[in-house]
Structure 1
Amino acid sequence: MDVPLFADQPNKRKRAINLGGTHSATTHTDILQEARLRRLQRNDHKRRQDAAILIQRSWRSYLALSSARRSLRSKFDQDLSSLTALRCLVLLGHDEDALGRWSTVLLASRKDILLQSDHSWLVLFQRVSTMLLHSLSLNLRSQYAQAHLEVLSIFLSDNPQHATIARYLVSHDFYSSLRQVLLQLPVPAKTSPLLSPLANLLLAPLSSPELLPLALRELLLSILTVPLLPNRLLPVLTPFSARLPLASINLVPLEITSAPQLESIESKIHLLANLTTFMPYKYSSLSPPAFATYLRLCALLMNALPTHALEPPEARANPASNWADDSDDDEETKVEVVDSFEPKTRLPPLDDRTRKRLLTIPASDHVTSLLRASQDPTLLEPFISFSLGLSTVWPSRRDKVLSTIVAYNRGSVVKEIYRAYVRSSPLGRDDNQADISKPENASHWPPLLLLADLYTQALLTMGDDEFFSTGLNPDIPRNPLTLDELTALSRKLLNIAFTLYWRDDPNSAQETVPGMGQVKWENVREKATKCLQALHARDSRRPFTPPDHWLVTAHVDMNTFISAAVFEERKLAIPDSGRAAILNKRQLAYLSPRLGVLNSIPFAIPFDVRVEIFRKFVQNDIQSRGYTPWAGRMGVAKVVVRREHIAQDGFDKLGELDLRAPVAITFIDQWGNEEAGIDGGGVFKEFLTSLTREVFDTDRGLWLANKKNELYPASHSFATEMHSLAWYRFIGRILGKALYEGILIDVAFAGFFLAKWLDKQSYLDDLASLDPELYQGLMQLKHYTGDPEELSLNFAVAHEEFGETRSIDLLPNGSNIAVTRENRLQYMYLVAHYRLTRQIKKQSAAFFEGLSEIIDPKWLRMFNQQELQILLGGVNSPIDLDDLRANTQYGGLYDDDQHTITMFWEVVNSFTQEDRRKLLRFATSCSRPPLLGFKELNPNFAIRDATDDQSRLPTASTCVNLLKLPRYTNKRTLKEKLLQAINSNAGFDLS
């Protein structure tokens, strides 16, 4: 069937017709997107067009340049010796082949061309010279290198305008380019025809007087900072060194130390190493201005380096390598110490040859040569700066440097520094303490700090005979400073140290001192403190200062000081679990100004104030542990002790107890029965007194006594066995308990041993009390005018024990190191150090370990040796009867007005001081009065009646400080009986 033409076709979609325009259905976002797309297309098209134009331009330029270079090269090749060829060579730029041909041809046949002095030639010669230098700096092994060097040498020496050429080159990186040349030389140097012209080239600009200042400056910055420079120039080193005009170094400004070429630590080190290699041979010919500039420049370089920067690695790892270092710790006895608060500085690795060269700087021979050359008065100040820098960057060499300076010309340097600089210095004046950190005082610090170092070092080997010498005895050298000068110096140092400890801001100690490089205020404080401590030790032994010289009471309210110190100590209290982490004096000063004073310069505070602070520290510790001095003793720790075996039972039963806790002692008599009575403190005191009397008996083999009957640990091998060391530790704990409880012990220790308690070194003079013969021998060696090598001494000592003698080295391989004039002070110190320290190192360490378990070490550091002895055993001074009577208690029928008591005090008043001490020992077990008076005696001194039997002798209960005095009716009888009792050593009475 036929289908109509226009019939509906439902399966065919009708065409949609939009009468609203082509964009009527497009959204706003679509419009923006299409516009952005078109813009990107236009930008991309433009970029492509620009790139095409640039490529075309570059290609056309390249073609033109190539054509020009070919044209220039063609003209250059026509006649290499013409002015046109020279112009073409300059225009060709760095064409190594053309430059090499030109140098070779002119040297071979037309040297006269190189001598042209017309302006046209001169300008071109200057440009070609820079091209030659650039070529050498890139490749010294080029076949044209020698030709280039010879052409440059002609320009800078034979050409009539050589000065003009040299001035142009020096101002256009002449020495910077030659530095790159030198860095290409092999190390070690090999013989080469290039070395001689290269050395001449280095020195050529220095021949012009007008150019010398600038050329020498650039030489120092670019050439003398080359690592291992002498090794690179070794075949020509001698003529090079001889012609090097370092005698004119005063023409170079010291500001070069801040030049960009010296920014790195390595560049400073290499300049220092090279300077001190070439300069020493010229010392005798240097003018004072040149020598002063050299010393100041070296000082500035050293001051810009961190501490230990020049130390060999083994010395950095072992700071105690100093032969006169304060610490004598070794790996066996080392106590864990909190790390420094300072960030560690990374030090550059140095070639061993550079390090070896640097080590000649602090050598005694070099320092002595500097001293000989520094006789001009104007050189003292720069020598001071040099020496201070030297001892800062080489801590392990500091003692040798200082000892060499001290020994030179009988200490004349010490005297000159004090009188020329320190005496008139405003630093440390009583009226100027607050101004010490002002920048205008910068120039006054180096002399003062070096003097403090030098005199501290001098005291290590200066006997009292020399210290107090008046110069009348020609066999005894005179102290370089008079006692009046030392008094003034010590006061200056005291004011400075106290001000630096007393600063409110502890972080200021880490700030650097103006004009002193890397030296910090804490370094200043440390130097002043060391010298102060050494001077105070002398003054304590034989006073030479006026009364109250060391005190700062005018600047500090003592009541406030006590309260603040106790508060600071409470904040720093370390719990039992952390007692091994001990703050050293430096860190303590950082955290606590008052404890810093008490631990470093305690003598600035009156002794009675420090004793009061010590007692308060103990009281704080007792309270923090929940203990009460005497209450609660019944239930804390009960210890049964046999009277016949006090020491052994004490060792066995008290060895591991916490002795800061109260301890109740029960005695067992010889029949095995418990003695009646309750330990309220007195029985423990009796136990402690009897125990110390037994353990300090020299017949036991643990202790020896000097001629003053002062004790120190035995040095034989038996004393170092584990069992003996356990006893030393126990004895330390027992003495710590006595100090903790305030119980006086009638035992005297040698001063050098007490110094160990306080972490102080023993000085040579301490040896006189231990071994007078050895001390005299060392003094004779010090003053020996001949050659010490004639005495055939070496760095070893003979140790005799149980009939056998063996040699002990004082230094590694010491038996093969001879004692010479230069090292005899070191030998003296090491011998004394061996006798006073090394022989009793383990014994002292064990003793101090036990002591520090009870008494915090920083509490003890508030005292010196003499004061510590007083703290232990009381004051070795006349007994004040008025004080004793005012603090005496009476029992039974007695009171202060009773007839027998009145006669007793009259009799005792007639006693000699020796008899009074015997009476005190008889009643209290200790012959010395308490350090703060009898009010401190615990329990108080007491007298009780003991029948009216006129024939009976007085007795005593020393555990409670009680004298049992019969009711005598006659003064003569009382005196006879009392003297008989105290001289017969009557025993302890329990009745």
Structure 2
Amino acid sequence: MTQWVDPRTHGVVYDKPLPNGWEKKFMANGILYFVDHNRGTTTYVDPRTGKSSLDNGPQITHIKDFKAKVQNFRSCCQQLSLPQDIKITVARKTLFEDSFQQIMSFHSQNLRRRLWIFFSGEEGLDYGGVAREWFFLLSHEVLNPMYCLFEYAGKENYCRQINPASSVNPDHLKYFKFIGRLLAMALFHGKLIGAAFSLTFYKRILNKPLALKDLESVDPEYYQTLTWIRDNDIAECGLEMYFSVDKEILGQVTTHELKPGGGNVLVTERNKQEYIRLVAEWRLSRGVEEQTQALFEGFNEVVPQQYLQYFDAQELEMMLCGMQQIDLDDWQGNTIYKHYVRSSTQILWFWQFVKEMDNEKRMRLLQFVTGTGRLPVGGFADLMGSNGPQKFCLEKVGEENWLPRSHTCFNRLDLPPYKSYEQLKEKLMFAIENTEDFGLE
């Protein structure tokens, strides 16, 4: 028997066209997939509906808010996770190199297994808190401009961007692949890193096109210059510019042509839009294509890029870096107490102590108790412990001459029953500023 009705859709035709640049194809086994020619990627997820053509693929539909996107991303990662675990042992003094050697020695798929992080010479068991501290400390280390892999985006912008002079290290591409794996591991395992990137960096990870407006967050002066050229008649101003720019790397100045023969092409009122576009693209990339490609290679080995397609740059930054600003009301409203009550004298003193702190000291206190100085998207309500959500906890433990202790896997602070506010403040500050390692009771 023959018929015009498709047995898969029972005659219901989905007639909404694909977005521009998209194409629908079928594999040899009949499975439907989609090609995004704009980005040069393929996916099983229908861009019109968010549904996967795979039975066990990510089914993302009607995502209206960021938390829903994160929840669906976590679900997708769960499908990729593997059983058992991998152990990574590092020394604090050689954190960067130890982590690099071990992460690059694993097959990329093994990095989707549960992590067990050990600091050499320390007894702490990793039920989440040790891994949080490892990601937090390691990200600070690898993004430190002193290694010449990254640099600050501007004089007053402390976001990181890839350093075009990174080739002074002959192995710099291997390190960028390692950093790509590290960032993907943080997303995959739901951990936060301790430093932020420029928004253009996140847009590159998401494979989203860059525009002149993106330059404003990286180099405001350069952006203002280009917008002035855009909005004014350069012929009347007598400006003499060509399709080339000077760049300086390690004190050596070279000329880069924005297009073939650009050094001889004068910028005029007629072609200035092309000039603005090309010079903005150059300023946002500045010859770091090889480094970017190496980082993407490492990243995509752990997290497929298509799993991030529903996020924008700000959302990706929030998911990867969390929140730095700590809200005291949110902290108090999502704290539980053991052997104390909310009105206990020591609890009132503790919140007075936190209130008197600036945000940087609050972050250090948070890191002491939870392993990281940043908060997840939902704030203190979304703090995670060893077995899922775990609120910040203050527990009455010990004698008044004891120092406070933290249990980072459980977001718990052991707060002895101090006899005065000055004593509590002194002991807490000493613990925060002098903590060094993990141990077992």
Q: Counterpart of 2:46?
A: 589
| CA RMSD after TM alignment | 3.5
Shift of 1:760: 1.1
Secondary structure of residue in 1 paired with 2:73: helix
How far has the Cα of 1:667 moved from its partner? 2.3
Cα distance, 1:590–1:683 mapped onto 2, change above 3 Å: closer
Match 1:934 to one of 372, 380, 388: 380
* Corresponding residue for residue 700 of structure 1: 147
Structure 2 residue 116 is matched with structure 1 residue 608: no
Q: CA deviation at 1:770?
A: 2.5
Aligned-pair identity in percent equals 30
Conserved 8 A contact 2:336-2:394: yes
1:711 deviates by 0.9
1:836, distance to aligned residue in structure 2 (A) = 0.7
- Report the residue type matching 2:218 in the other structure: L
Give yes or no for contact 1:660–1:737 (8 Å, CA) kept in 2. Answer: yes
User: Which of residues 189, 213, 218 is equivalent to 1:770?
Assistant: 218
Question: Which residue identity lines up with residue 697 of structure 1 in the other structure?
Answer: N
Structure-to-structure mapping, 1:109-508, within 5 angstroms? 505-506=13-14, 508=16
CA distance in 2, matches of 1:883, 1:594: 38
Work out the CA distance in 1 between the residues paired with 2:52 and 2:332: 33
| TM-aligned CA deviation for residue 604 of structure 1 | 6.7
CA contact (8 A) 1:686 1:959 kept: no
Whether the aligned pair in 1 keeps the contact of 2:400 and 2:419 (CA below 8 Å) is no
Residue 740 (structure 1) aligned with residue 188 (structure 2): yes
2:303 and 2:332 map into 1 onto residues whose CA distance is: 29
In the alignment of these two chains, the number of paired residues is: 401
8 Å contact from structure 1 (residues 739, 872) kept in 2: yes
Cα separation, partners in 2 of 1:965 and 1:855, compared to 1, 3 Å: same
Match of 1:227 in 2: none
1:955 Cα offset (Å): 5.0
Q: Is the CA contact 1:875–1:931 (under 8 Å) kept in the aligned structure 2?
A: yes
Match of 1:640 in 2: 89
Partner residue, 1:973: 423
Give the distance between the partners of 1:775 and 1:882, measured in 2 at CA: 38
1:828 deviates by 1.1
The yes-or-no answer on 1:667 pairing with 2:113 is no
Distance 1:871 1:757 in 2: 13
Contact 1:664 1:684 in 2 (8 A): yes
Change (3 A) 1:744 1:979: same
**Distance in 1, Cα, partners of 2:124 & 2:398:** 21
How many angstroms apart in 2 are the aligned matches of 1:685 and 1:508? 45
**Letter matched to residue 812 of structure 1:** P
Partner of 2:161: 712
Q: Distance in 1 between matches of 2:188 and 2:73?
A: 9
**In the TM superposition, what are the counterparts of 1:553-572 in structure 2 within 5 Å?**
none
- Conserved in 1, the CA contact under 8 Å of 2:135 and 2:186? yes
Q: Quick one: distance in 2 between partners of 1:603 and 1:810?
A: 42
- Alignment partner, residue 759 of structure 1: 207
Question: What secondary structure is seen at the aligned counterpart in 2 of 1:963?
Answer: strand
The residue number in structure 2 matching 1:919 is 365
Amino acid at match of 2:278: L
Note the C-alpha offset of 1:808.
1.0
2:295 paired residue number: 847
| Structure-2 separation of matches of 1:682 and 1:920 | 12
Partner secondary structure for residue 663 of structure 1: strand
Q: Which amino acid aligns with 1:948?
A: E
Residue 847 of structure 1 deviates from its aligned partner by: 1.4
Tell me what 1:652 maps to: 101
Whether the aligned pair in 2 keeps the contact of 1:506 and 1:591 (CA below 8 Å) is no
Among residues 801, 823, 826, which one is paired with 2:271 in the alignment? 823
User: For the residues of structure 2 that align with 1:801 and 1:864, how far apart are their CA atoms?
Assistant: 31
Q: Is the 8 A contact 1:506 1:590 kept in 2?
A: no
1:792 corresponding residue in structure 2: 240
- 1:620 pairs with one of 63, 79, 91: 79
Question: Are the structure 2 counterparts of residues 904 and 676 from structure 1 closer, same or farther at C-alpha, using a change threshold of 3 Å?
Answer: same
Cα distance in 1, alignment partners of residues 140 and 410 from structure 2: 17
Q: Displacement of 1:750 after TM fit?
A: 0.7
Tell me if the contact between 1:638 and 1:663 (Cα under 8 Å) persists in the aligned partners. Answer: yes
1:682 and 2:134 matched: no
Task: State the structure with more CA Rg.
Answer: 1
Aligned mates of 1:761, 1:918 — CA distance in 2: 37
Asked which structure has the greater RCO (Cα within 8 Å, sep 6+), the reply is: 2
In the alignment, which residue of structure 1 is the partner of 2:28? Answer: none
Cα contact 2:177–2:299 (8 A) shared by 1: yes
Q: How far off its partner does 1:779 sit?
A: 2.4
Equivalent in 743, 747, 750 of residue 198 of structure 2: 750
Structure 1 residues 976 and 664 mapped into 2: Cα distance closer, same or farther (>3 Å)?
closer
Determine the C-alpha separation between the residues in 2 that align with 1:583 and 1:889.
50
CA drift at 1:871 = 0.5
The 1:863/1:949 distance shift into structure 2, 3 A limit, reads same
Q: What's the TM-score once normalised by structure 2's chain length?
A: 0.78
Q: Provide, for residues 445-477 of structure 1, a one-character-per-residue CA deviation record: whole Å limited to 9, x for no partner.
A: xxxxxxxxxxxxxxxxxxxxxxxxxxxxxxxxx
Sort the Cα spacing of 1:685 and 1:913 in 2 relative to 1 into closer, same or farther, 3 A. closer
Structure 1 length-normalised TM: 0.37
C-alpha separation between the residues in 2 aligned to 1:909 and 1:620? 42
Instruction: Answer yes or no: is the 8 Å Cα contact 1:788–1:820 preserved in 2.
Output: no
Q: Say which SS state the counterpart of residue 948 (structure 1) adopts.
A: coil
Deviation at 1:762, TM superposition (A): 2.2
Q: Which residue of 2 aligns with 1:730?
A: 178
Q: What pairs with 1:528-547 in structure 2 (closer than 5 Å)?
A: none
Unaligned runs of 5+ in 2: 1-11, 23-30, 35-39
| Paired residues of 1:637 and 1:662 also in contact (CA < 8 A) | yes
Higher helix share: 1
Give the letter aligned to residue 653 of structure 1.
Q
Cα distance in 2 for residues equivalent to 1:878 and 1:602: 32
Could you tell me which amino acid in structure 2 is paired with residue 619 of structure 1? Q
- 1:990 maps onto 2:436 in alignment: no
Q: Give the structure with the higher percent strand.
A: 2
Determine which of 858, 861, 865 is the counterpart of 2:313: 865
Distance 1:912 1:826, change over 3 A: same
CA displacement at 1:985 relative to structure 2 = 6.7
Q: Are the equivalent residues in 1 in contact too, given 2:129–2:370 (CA < 8 A)? A: no
Q: Label 1:989 to 1:942 Cα distance change in 2 as closer, same or farther (>3 A).
A: farther
SS of residue paired to 2:46: helix
8 A contact 2:152–2:158 mirrored in 1: yes
When residues 884 and 723 of structure 1 are mapped into structure 2, their CA distance, relative to the original with a 3 A threshold, is farther
1:274-303 deviation digits (Å, cap 9, x = unpaired): xxxxxxxxxxxxxxxxxxxxxxxxxxxxxx
CA distance in 1, matches of 2:124, 2:103: 21
Contact residue 920 and residue 927 of structure 1 kept, 8 A = yes
Residue 935 (structure 1) shift:
3.9
Once the two structures are TM-superposed, the CA of residue 814 in structure 1 deviates from its matched residue by: 1.0
2: distance between equivalents of 1:837 and 1:505? 44
Matched, 1:947 2:398: yes
Deviation per CA, 1:943-970: give whole Å up to 9, x if none.
44563244x6545454654434332122
State the shift of 1:650 in Å: 1.1
